[in-house]
Amino acid sequence: MEIATKKLLLEFMVTTQAKRKRKNIFANLVLSILAILAVSPLVAILGFLISKGIGALSWEFLTSLPAPYGESGGGMGHSIVGTFILVLFASLLGIPVGFGAGIFLAESSKESRFASIVRLCAEMLAGVPSIVVGLFAYFVAVLPFGGFSAFAGGFALSVIMIPVIARTSEEILRLVPVHVREAGLALGLPRWQVVMRIVLRGSRKGLFTAVLLAVARASGETAPLLFTALNSRLWSFSATQPISSLPVQIYTYATSPSEEWHQQAWGGALLLVLLVLGMSLFARFLFSGKKYGT
Amino acid sequence: MSSSLSEKIFRTILGAFGVFIVLLMFSVAIFLTVGAWPVIRHGLSDFVQTQTWNPVNGQFGALAVLFGTLVSSSIAIAIAAPLGVGAAIFLKELAPARVASVFSFLIEMLAAVPSVIFGLWGFFVLAPAIRDHVAPIFYPLGEYVPIFRGPSYGVGILTAGVVLALMILPTMAAIVREIFSAVPQHQREAALGLGSTRWEAVRVAVLAPSKPGILSAAVLATARALGETMAVTMVIGNRNAVSLSLFDPGQSMASLIANEYAEASDSRHIAALMAVGLLLLVISLVVNAVARIIAKRSAAKWK
C-alpha cells in the first residue's frame, strides 16, 4: 500500500491535471465497454434462441415423438418427460444427502476436523468435471447392471446435485442467528429438535432455493448423461431402460446433418433455457436478501 | 426415548451423511483409477507423451488432448480475465447502482445457461462468424506466424477457447466483485481525499491490494474451463492431433471422452478413456487446490 501511495503521489507531481483527467475519462470508457462486452453474449445467445427456436415450438413439438429421419414434424415430448424423470430420480438421492451433509456441516463447530474434511470433500466434489462424474456413474451404475438406464442417469445427476445442495444449505443454515437457537435450547428442547423444528423450519425458503438451484443445474447437464441414461427415441417411463433428455436430445440433433433436426435443436434449446433460467429467476426472487427469515 | 439417546441418534445420522460425502469423493477417484489401471500401470509418462490415439490399433496417447485442453483453456482465461475484471470494476466501482444491478443480473443469468446451449450457439453462430469474418483477417499473418496458419473450418481450438471464455466469464466477474467488496470503503476515500481521480483511486486503493484475489479467481475460472465438456465437444472440431494453428480443429480431454465413450467397446479403449478422465480429474483438483491456497493466503487481510 505504501509503495502504491508513493507511486500515486509521484504521478500527481509529474503529470498535469488535464492529462490525469483525460486518463480518467479514457479508463471509464474502456471499463464500460468491457462491461457491455461481458453482458452482450447473454443477449446474443438469448436473441438467437428466441429468433430460431420460437418457430419450432408448437403443441406437436411438446407432445409427440421425433419424426423419422427426413420427415418433417415430430417433437421432443419424450425428452421433456425424460428430463423430468431423470431429475426426479436425482432428487430422490441428491436432496436428502445434500441436506443431510449441509445440516451436518452447519451444526458442527468450525474447529471440527472431521467437518472440515467433509467440507473439503464437498468442495472437491463440486470441482469434479461433469464428464468425469459420467465416467464414475458408468462404472457404478451402468456396468454392474448390464446396461444404460434412467436410474444410472439419475444417479449421475445426483452426484452433481449433492455438493451444490450441501454447500448452499450450509451457508443458509449458518445465517440462522445464534439467539434463535439459544431460545429453543432455553425452552428445554433437545438440540435435534431445535434443528428440525426451529432452524430448518425458519430457513425453509432458503433451503427450497438451494434445491431449486441444484435442480436447475441438473436439468441442464448433458455430459453425465451421455453414457449413463444414453438417449431414446421412444416414450420411456422405466428406470431400467435408456431414456431421452432435453440436453442430450439437443446435442444429438445439433450434431446431426439434418436441417429439420437443427430446427428441433433450437426449439429444444429455447425450451431448456426457459426452464433453467425460469428456475434460477424464481430462486433469486424467493431468496434475494440472503437473510434469515426472509 | 431419553433426550441423550435421541441426541446421539441425531448426531450419528448427520455424521453418516458427512461420511457419505467423503466416501463419494474417494470412490470417484478410486473407481477411475481402477478403470484406468490397465493403461496406467506401466506408468503415466508414456501415456501423456504419445500423440497417437488410434483405438483400432490399440494405440493410446493423451498428448493431443492434453494440448487441446490446455490451449483452449488458456485462450479462455486470456479473454475472460480482462473482461471479467473490467466488468467487475465497472459494476462495483464506477457504474450507478441501477445500471450495476441490471448488469450483475445479466451476468448471473449467463452463469445459469446450460453448457449445451453455449455449444449450440457456438456451433451455429460463432463458428461460421469466425470462419467468415475473423479468420480471413489473419490469413496474411499466417505465412509468418504459425498460430494463425491455414484456413479455418469454423470449429477449432480458437472457437472452443472463445466459447469457454463466455462460460467462465460470470465466475470470474462474480468472484472479483466479491474481492472488491471486501476492500474497506475508507481505502477508496483515502485515495480520493489525496486528490486522485476515480480511476486512480480504483487502481491504487482497490486493484493493487486485490491482485492475489484476482489471481485466485483466474485460476478457479481456469479450472472450470479445463473440465467443461459439451460446449467444447460441439465446437472444437474433434481431431486428435497437436497443431500450432488456432484455427485448426483439435480435441480436449473432456470432448474425447464425450465423443468416444458410448462407442467404445473393447476394454483397452475404455481403460484409456478412463485414464484420460483420471488425468482430467487430477488436473482439475490440483488447479482448484492452487486457487484455494492463493485465496487463503490473500484473505483476511482487512481484519
User: What are the tens digits of pLDDT across the range A198-209?
Assistant: 899 989 889 999
Here the cell at position A55 is: 418457430
Q: Give the residue from chain A lying closest to B112, CA to CA.
A: A277
User: B108 in contact with A at a CB cutoff of 8 Å?
Assistant: yes
A contact residues 179-238, partner B, Cβ 8 Å cutoff: 190-192, 195, 216, 219-223, 226-227, 230
Candidates A24, A35, A127; nearest CB to B86: A35
Integer Cα distance of B228 and B286 in angstroms? 16
Least confident of A16-20, A100-104, A251-255, B127-131: A16-20
List helix spans (H) across chain A: 2-14, 17-53, 59-63, 77-107, 113-127, 130-137, 150-173, 178-186, 191-193, 200-202, 204-220, 246-254, 259-286
159-178 in chain B: CB under 8 A from chain A: 166, 169, 173
Q: What is the DSSP string of B93-106?
A: IIS-HHHHHHHHHH
Contact criterion met (CB below 8 Å) for B28 and A133 = yes
One digit per residue, the tens of pLDDT, for chain B of length 303 reads 566 888 899 999 999 999 999 999 999 999 999 999 998 888 788 888 888 888 888 888 899 999 999 999 999 999 999 999 999 999 999 999 999 999 999 998 999 999 999 999 999 999 999 999 988 888 888 788 888 887 888 999 999 999 999 999 999 999 999 999 989 999 999 989 988 889 999 998 999 889 999 999 999 999 999 999 999 999 999 988 888 888 999 999 999 999 998 788 788 899 999 999 999 999 999 999 999 999 888 765 665
Residue A174 lies in a domain: yes
pLDDT at A11 over 80: no
Please, what is the average pLDDT of chain A? 89
Whether A251 sits inside 8 A of B230 (CB atoms) is yes
Q: Which residues of B touch A259 (CB under 8 A)?
A: none
- Residue A293 pLDDT grade (very low, low, confident, very high; cuts 50, 70, 90): low
B6, B73, B113: best to mutate for the A interface, most A CBs within 10 A = B113
Name the grid cell of B218. 483466474
DSSP conformation class of A144: G
Interface test with B, best of A25, A31, A200 (most B CBs within 10 A): A31
Q: How far apart are CA A201 and CA A59, in angstroms?
A: 40
Task: Round to whole Å and give the CA distance between A214 and A276.
Answer: 10
Structurally, how many domains does chain A consist of?
1
Select from A150, A148, A196, A155 the least CA-distant residue to A173. Answer: A196
How remote is the C-alpha of A219 from its chain's centroid? Answer: 8
Mean per-residue pLDDT for A262-278? 94
- Chains A and B form CB pairs within 8 A to the count of 278
Per-residue 3-state assignment (H helix, E strand, C coil) for B250-297: ECCHHHHHHHHCCCCCCHHHHHHHHHHHHHHHHHHHHHHHHHHHHHHH
Q: Provide the pLDDT for residue A294.
A: 47
Would you state the pLDDT for residue B58? 82
A residues 230-269 near B, CB within 8 Å?
Answer: 230, 247, 250-251, 254-255, 262, 265-266, 269
CB atoms near residue B56 (< 10 Å): 7
Report the DSSP beta bridge partners of residue B54: B59
Domain residues for the domain of A212 are: 61-286
Distances (CA, A) of A275 to A25, A81, A84, A220, A279: 42, 13, 11, 9, 6
Mean pLDDT of A52-69: 86
A139 touches chain B (CB under 8 A): yes
Tell me A68's DSSP state: P
The answer to whether position A20 is within a domain reads no
pLDDT > 80? residue A231: yes
- Domain-embedded: residue A273: yes
Q: Is the model more confident about A237 or about A136?
A: A136
Helices (H), A128-220: 130-137, 150-173, 178-186, 191-193, 200-202, 204-220
The confidence score (pLDDT) of residue A290 equals 59
**pLDDT value at residue B171:** 93
A170 located within any domain: yes
Give the number of other Cβ atoms within 10 Å of residue B112's Cβ. Answer: 21
Domain assignment present for residue A68? The answer is yes
pLDDT band with cut points at 50, 70 and 90 for residue A236? confident
DSSP A188: T
Looking at the predicted structure, is the pLDDT value of residue A269 above 80?
yes
Which DSSP helix (H) or strand (E) runs through B48? helix B44-49
Beta carbons of A123 and A184 less than 8 angstroms apart:
no
Closest Cβ opposite residue A127 in set B16, B22, B284: B284
Angle at B182 between CA B192 and CA B302, to 5 degrees: 85
List the CATH number of the domain containing A71: 1.10.3720.10
| Alpha-carbon gap: B282 to the closest alpha carbon of chain A (Å) | 9
**Eight-state DSSP code of residue B299:** T
pLDDT attached to residue B150: 79
Residue A267 contacts residue A57 (beta carbons within 8 Å): yes
How many Å lie between the alpha carbon of A107 and the closest alpha carbon of chain B?
Answer: 9
B16/A contact by beta carbon, under 8 A? yes
Distance CA A78, CA A85 (A): 10
B96 class by beta-carbon count within 10 Å (0-12 exposed, 13-18 middle, 19+ buried) = exposed
- Is A28 a domain residue? no
- Average pLDDT on A63-91 reads 88
- Name which of A138-152, A255-269, B134-148 the model is least confident about: B134-148
Please report the pLDDT score of residue A1 as a whole number. Answer: 52
Cα dihedral value A173, A177, A183, A184, nearest 10: 0
Contacts of B103 in chain A (CB under 8 A): 35, 38-39
Q: Which residue of A has its CA nearest to B123?
A: A254
Alpha-carbon gap, residue B135 to B121, rounded angstroms: 18
Q: How far apart are CA B271 and CA A45, in angstroms?
A: 37
Say yes or no to pLDDT of A275 above 60: yes
Could you tell me if residue A29 is inside a domain?
A: no
SS3 B53: strand
> Is the residue at A294 inside a domain?
no
ipTM score for this prediction: 0.92
